[in-house]
Amino acid sequence: MQRNITRKKSANNGLKLLARFLGIEKEEEEKNVETETKEKKTRLSKRIIACLDVRANDNGDLVVTKGDQYDVREKTEDGSGGEVRNLGKPVDLARRYYEEGADEITFLNITSFREGPITDAPMLEVLKRTSKNVFVPLTIGGGIRDYTDKDGNTYSALDVASEYFRSGADKVSIGSDAVYAAEEYLKAGKQKSGKSSIEQISGQYGRQAVVVSVDPKRVWLSALEEEECKHHIVRPVKRRGPKGETACWYQCTVKGGREGREIDANTLAQAVAELGAGELLLNCMDEDGAKQGFDIDLIGDVASSINIPVIASSGAGAPEHFAEVFEKTGVEAGLAAGIFHRREVPISAVKQHMKENNLIVRD
């Protein structure tokens, strides 16, 4: 019996040796490794981003502010707008967030560089000073577009972006100009012109350097309006319209949310991804400052339609809101502003809650 076992082992070894010689065993091993690799799901760390809305106050000083429904002025007793809400100095706050564990920091100049971005020395100085002490990716947004200054000098969006990169930015965030670019792209039958700010900057610096920031708002639809609507329709799970509506489309806006356009967020997301955007920052205007959680319906709908990372923004009020948006939509990053500025929710608390919910975060 022992001899038969030995013979079987010898036979098996001989077959293995022959298979190895013929290369069969190696091919099988490679197939097994390839199969195991495919079956393993890569889990990337979720990013927590601190956003600083920067603008000049009435004295001309750059301050970090925060709007409620995009209104950045303090309310007075008679209901009129008071002074610009001042939550701190941009460089100081950026340093604080870096030390508290923010994975990235975004500056949004919400006055859109009225004097022209290339000549906006204070904002460029903010970038330069921040980059010396803050060692996480910095994004700058506001005014990334072609423009002509008061002296008649013309600059391209690429010129503007290049100045920011030289001043310490890792990415630029394009807002209104991205909406116009998407409209032109669709109007041309989805033909790229090569002239849009997205195409220019991603072509020169790479897709990863371009973030598109979109500010959509809900347009609720009655049953009749729903039948006639030509836009991408979403059926919110948590929310209902003022008249009990169960469907809406998300209208993209420009000029800081002051002007609506006839393009929905889902359609825009697909267009800018095709044009070369590397990330999409999704700010739901209806949830801004509400602290009731991110708009899961909007974010999930858009994230599932594109193959570039999506940053969830607007509505965070507690650590649970970050875990919820990551778990329910699979987005790569969550962004907040006011709750971090006012120390209502520490970044450390957000990350701890995520760890407790088995979400991977950077220490």
Burial of 266 (0-12, 13-18, 19+ CB in 10 A): buried
**Which of 181, 179, 168, 183 has its CA nearest to residue 214?**
179
- How far apart CA 81 and CA 23 sit, in angstroms, is 78
**Which of 305, 363, 284 has its CA nearest to residue 70?**
284
Question: Could you tell me if 220 and 249 are in contact, meaning their C-beta atoms sit under 8 angstroms apart?
Answer: no
b/e for 39-58, b at 16 or more Cβ within 10 A?
eeeeeeebbbbbbbbbbbee
> Does 170 participate in catalysis according to the annotation?
no
**Which one is catalytic: 103, 215, 288, 297?**
215
> Does 53 participate in catalysis according to the annotation?
yes
Helix (H) or strand (E) holding 257: none
Q: What is the DSSP letter of 38?
A: H
Determine the 3-state secondary structure of 260 from DSSP.
strand
* Distance (Å) of CA 16 to CA 7, 19, 26, 32, 113: 14, 5, 10, 16, 72
Catalytically active residues are 53, 215
